[in-house]
Amino acid sequence: MIDPETRLALVHAAIAKASKRAGRPTDATTLIAVSKTKTVEEISPLIAAGQRDFGENRVQEAQSKWPALIAVTPDIRLHLVGQLQSNKAEDAVALFDVIHSVDRASLVNALGKAQDKVGRRPSCFLQVNIGDEDQKGGCAIADIAPLLSRSGAVGLNIIGLMTVPPADIEPAPYFALLGKLARDHGLDQLSMGMSGDYETAIMLGATHIRVGTALFGGRG
Ligand SMILES: *Cc1c(COP(=O)(O)O)cnc(C)c1O
């Protein structure tokens, strides 16, 4: 068993190496430790080692784990990386600093309302279904412009694009496409890259990588 501090150091080293090869500063990429299914006991050593950005994919699970941890370490930033139901928008706005899974007009509207009610304004990514897969979350490429315009109308702060590329094929073309789509729409943040492909994502301009397994081990 490799301990969590060692895993974190190995991921930091890989980020530094990929950044150097890409000619980008190491701190241009935010490492989000995706802690879904992991317990407070498994998460705490990473906080102690200095990790501050964490990702969860379910609002309810995050509510059960994070408020107590954030009370002790207030500079933790919490990222929602999983699909969000509109009826959970208020809870999400109240807890998360960044929401990576905005992908439809009904959710944009719900988040806009939730922000006004809760009095918080998380940064958001539009999630794009880059491989046009039936089962996947994310909007169609053609929906990016209308969703950005709707977001502007309700005051949602969209800072970039997020994607999960199709499994088991080379992700680089999809990462490159997401970068082009972001530039075309005047957005400069890219949430892309997971344990298996974050170095490739960094080469192609990722500003946020979402890493679970490489930091915490498998999810059983
Ligand atoms: C679980 C998850 C991750 C982390 O995946 P790993 O392969 O364990 O690094 C990243 N992004 C999203 C959207 C996820 O659901």
Question: Could you tell me whether strands 208-211 and 30-34 are parallel, antiparallel, or unpaired per DSSP bridges?
Answer: parallel
Choice from 30, 32, 34, 79 to test ligand 1 binding pocket (greatest atom count within 8 A of CB):
34
Choice from 57, 192, 199 to test ligand 1 binding pocket (greatest atom count within 8 A of CB):
57
- For residues 124-149, average pLDDT: 97
pTM: predicted TM-score of the whole model, two decimal places: 0.98
On the question of pLDDT at 181 being above 90, the answer is: yes
What element of type H or E holds 95?
helix 89-95
Determine the atom of ligand 1 nearest the C-alpha atom of 196: 7
Whole-number Cα distances in Å, 79 to 47, 54, 87, 130, 158 = 15, 6, 18, 21, 14
Nearest CA to ligand 1 atom 13: 81
The number of beta carbons lying within 10 Å of the beta carbon of residue 104 is: 19
- For residues 5-27, average pLDDT: 97
E strands of 64-179, at which residues?
Answer: 77-80, 98-102, 123-127, 157-162
3-state secondary structure of 106: helix
